[in-house]
Amino acid sequence: MRPLPTGKPAMPIHLLPDHLINQIAAGEVVERPASVLKEVLENAMDAGSTAVEVQLEQGGVRRIRVADDGCGIPKDELPLALERHATSKITSLDDLERVGTMGFRGEALAAIAAVSRMSITSRADGAPHAWRIDADPRELAPAALNHGSVVDVADLYFNTPARRKFLKSEGTEFAHCDDVFRRIALARPDVGLQLSHNGRVSQRLPSGTREARVRALLGDDFLAAARSVEAESGLLRLHGFASLPAYSRSNRDAQFFYVNGRFVRDKLVTHAIREAYADILHGSRHPAYVLFLELDPFGVDVNVHPAKIEVRFRDSRAVHQFVYHALQRTLAASGAGAGLAAGSGESTESPAPAPAPQASPYPHTPQPYQSRLAMEPASRAYYDFAAAARPEPIAGGPAPAREDGFVATAFAPRAASPLTPPVAAPALPASDLAPPLGYALAQLHGVYILAQNEGGLILVDMHAAHERILYERLKTLLDGTPGVQRLLIPAVFGVGQKDMLTAEEHSELLERMGFEVGPAGPQELAVRSVPALLASAPVSELVRALLAELRDFPSTEVITARRNELLATMACHGAVRANRSLTLPEMNALLREMEATERADQCNHGRPTWTALSMADLDRLFLRGR
Ligand SMILES: Nc1ncnc2c1ncn2[C@@H]1O[C@H](COP(=O)(O)OP(=O)(O)O)[C@@H](O)[C@H]1O
Ligand SMILES: [Mg+2]
């Protein structure tokens, strides 16, 4: 006998008994009650069930019982079902490569049976009665059951106390089971499902449409704030629902992604989705989505992990690009202009299933009293402004810098500054079709702009909207050489030691962005130039915020990759602040810029920037016409 390194004599090589092999395998497949539930539920789905009932006791540790109305298992196959590597789902490698069922490894039931007290009662289609098999001792007996199968798993880990110790509280284990249940339920709206825990029903989901299932599990709020996604390209299809940033979460709980019906957590896909949201969602917020990717089974390997939660795509780049673009386009299509175009039929995206909060301000049936006449005074004021503005800038030169950070030039006619992109002054419309966001009426408490369009009232959060516009424009400007505004008098302000060091370390990068920053004293910085777009932002505040952010980045590569975060900071500090009063022409200019900006209806932090109250909405408020 060879000695082990510990000095103990080694045993001769021998085959492990089946039961022990199964117990070892159970370590991979059966991590906790939720993993048992996943396997057993998936078997019920694979069996073609239309109604499935799940009963749990004590978080699933005491009992997991799943009853289905699927095809059942014939008597003589029942003992096989409990054997390792016994499956009815594949017979060859070819099958494995195009597998369409959830299961195929034929090891789940054997593993579960090895670490619990398990029985299966089943009645195969056409059998005169049901049969029941107990896993240990393995015994078959006639039983009563109308159809389908009942898999009963009791006392999980009763014979492997070491594993039992790893189980968490009943509440935690139940929460994991609930997660599994929801994941499968979202994927299979065609199957009626019920879940109960300790005798109390916690979910009752009738079979129905995908939308109804999503509504039942994620709520009306989610659907109201979600876009429906539908995209196809070659052999790839992505469909489902993705939240607009206004519905973002502080965690990833509401993220469901499926590949050919299988819930997965895949790094590649998660990355593609995060990128699609990068521009409209603050980094610390998480989008909510239920998305289904369908592709040829040949294109994806699901046999990477026993629990099959990871997959491997054959052409991962194509998948990444497809998911990113499909989602990004859907989300961008919610921009103020695009949203309005949806009614004209030129949008290729499917409409949101429920009216989003920022629904189209163009109602399909304008109310008779909302005549063109009513639009007249507001539009007249705007045309007057536009006409007057054309020959020369309203401010008669570069806008003076303002304490409050309002960039008047950003709204003023383009000729005002050689640094702003040459957007023509708004043309007078030939017809009397009003612009989508209408004409400004007034400013409310220094925070909101009230405007009137054909449909009714438009409310705009002016800071959020301006921030959004600035951000988009900063992005395009920084792609080339930034327009730089030299300050007549350098802005000098006191900073801490750390800021001094950061400014020195990143001076080159700052310069590339248009900031000329240098020391003015041991604890003082002088800013001599800023990006033209931010010409009138509060300089010290802006630069301090940038330095703080730069300090958080570990390296220059990271800064390049996360450049957009810097732009967002700049936009936030450059945007007009609350309590700054705007003139009507300034407000109208902002509305026009919003219409011209992609994704203008959400600010960089994911809040909506505007909303509409149609005449019908207002009538409802006043109970008119009832
Ligand atoms: N609820 C069920 N209804 C019908 N057949 C089932 C059910 N559960 C399991 N089976 C049968 O038992 C076999 C073994 O199941 P399992 O160990 O989970 O392996 P796999 O699902 O990978 O095939 C399945 O292939 C299937 O034929
Ligand atoms: Mg299975």
Sorted by where each begins, the domain ranges of the chain are: 18-205, 210-344, 372-470+578-619, 484-574
- Looking from the CA of residue 112, the nearest atom of ligand 1 is 17
CA nearest 229: which of 103, 121, 333?
A: 333
Neighbours of 620 (CB within 10 A): 13
Q: Is 89 in the pocket of ligand 1 (CB under 6 A)?
A: yes
Give residues with Cβ within 8 angstroms of 475, minimum separation 6. Answer: 564, 567
Q: Which residues pair with 524 in a beta bridge?
A: 494, 521
- Residue 336: predicted pLDDT: 38
CA nearest 37: which of 128, 156, 141?
A: 156
Where would I find the H helices in 225-256?
A: none
Are 591 and 435 a contacting pair, CB within 8 Å? yes
Distance CA 44, CA 148 (A): 9
Q: Is 306 in the pocket of ligand 1 (CB under 6 A)?
A: no
Distance CA 491, CA 614 (A): 46
Question: Is CATH 3.30.1370.100 what the domain over 484-574 is classified as, yes or no?
Answer: yes
- Distances 598 to 88, 471, 472 between C-alpha atoms, Å: 52, 11, 8
Structural class in CATH, domain 18-205? alpha beta
Can you say how many angstroms the Cα of residue 79 is from the centroid of all Cα atoms in its chain? Answer: 45
Q: Half-sphere exposure (CA, 13 Å, Cβ side) for 220?
A: 2
The CATH code for residues 210-344 is 3.30.230.10
Residues of the chain falling short of pLDDT 70: 1-9, 250-251, 283-284, 306-308, 334-433, 477-482, 552-562, 604, 626
Are 469 and 609 a contacting pair, CB within 8 Å? no
**DSSP one-letter code for 608:** B
Pocket test for ligand 1, best of 29, 37, 39, 43 (most atoms within 8 A of CB): 43
- Looking from the CA of residue 81, the nearest atom of ligand 1 is 12
Q: Is 302 in the pocket of ligand 1 (CB under 6 A)?
A: no
Are 592 and 341 a contacting pair, CB within 8 Å? no
Kind of pairing between the strands at 255-259 and 289-294: parallel
Q: Is 39 in the pocket of ligand 1 (CB under 6 A)?
A: yes
Among protein residues, the one whose CA lies closest to atom 20 of ligand 1:
106
- Residue 50: predicted pLDDT: 97
Among protein residues, the one whose CA lies closest to atom 8 of ligand 1:
43
Quote the mean pLDDT of the chain.
79
Distance CA 281, CA 248 (A): 8
Distance CA 608, CA 594 (A): 12
- Residue 168: predicted pLDDT: 80
Nearest ligand by distance to the CA of 82: 1
Among protein residues, the one whose CA lies closest to atom 24 of ligand 1:
87
Residue 383: exposed, middle, or buried by beta-carbon count in 10 A (0-12, 13-18, 19+)?
middle
Residue 58 tokens, joined? 């004590």
C-alpha of residue 619 to centroid of ligand 1, in Å:
59
Q: Which fold has domain 372-470+578-619?
A: formyl-coa transferase, domain 3 (3.30.1540)
pLDDT in tens, 153-179: 999 999 988 888 878 888 889 988 999
Distance CA 204, CA 217 (A): 10
Q: How many residues are recorded in the chain?
A: 626
Distance CA 42, CA 561 (A): 41
- Residue 542: predicted pLDDT: 86
Residue 142, H or E segment = strand 139-143
Among protein residues, the one whose CA lies closest to atom 9 of ligand 1:
43
Distance CA 105, CA 98 (A): 14
Domains 372-470+578-619 and 484-574 share a fold: no
Residue 622 tokens, joined? 């006043």
- Residue 499: predicted pLDDT: 82
Q: Is 104 in the pocket of ligand 1 (CB under 6 A)?
A: yes
- Residue 581: predicted pLDDT: 82
- Residue 283: predicted pLDDT: 62
Model-wide pTM > 0.75 = no
Are 442 and 450 a contacting pair, CB within 8 Å? yes
C-alpha of residue 102 to centroid of ligand 1, in Å:
10
